[in-house]
Amino acid sequence: MTNVHPVRTVQVGQRSAEIDELLAPAVEAIWRNGFQTFTSCQDAGESNVSWLEKLPHMASYVESRRGWAFLDFPVQDGLRFLTAVAQAGPRDAFYVQMTHWAAPQSWDVSIRPMDQAMFDEAEESNFDFRLL
């Protein structure tokens, strides 16, 4: 898979990955502090623009994600990360952005169920929380 953004190799211990260059410092710090991540992107709108050829109904979704960076965590690591960030400083405007969905420039934090069988159609459906 070719990345649409310039990347930098991030290595912490035995873990190594090509990470979008604008997120590489954050991912490196996150890994160094013992958190695991699945995926990340420095601009979800730019990364998903190719969807529009096969999925034109996704145009408004793709456009709405321009400028949005994201990090996906295993659920428990994501919850530990949010707790660590919340405890790292005063309950100021940054804290409000992080915790309140209606705050200006609020974080979009979600956990979505995923069917483990979507990777193997021979399996029976088995939903679980996988990513935050």
β-bridge partners, 129 = 113
Q: In the chain, which ranges are E strands?
A: 7-12, 15-20, 40-41, 70-71, 112-115, 127-131
Cα atoms in the 13 Å half-sphere on the side-chain side of 105: 5
pTM: 0.85
- pLDDT tens, the chain, 132 aa long: 678 999 999 999 999 999 999 999 999 999 999 999 999 999 999 999 998 999 999 999 999 999 999 999 999 999 999 999 999 999 999 999 999 999 999 999 999 899 989 988 899 999 999 899
| Span between the terminal Cα atoms of the chain, in Å | 23
Q: Are 107 and 98 in contact (CB under 8 A)?
A: yes
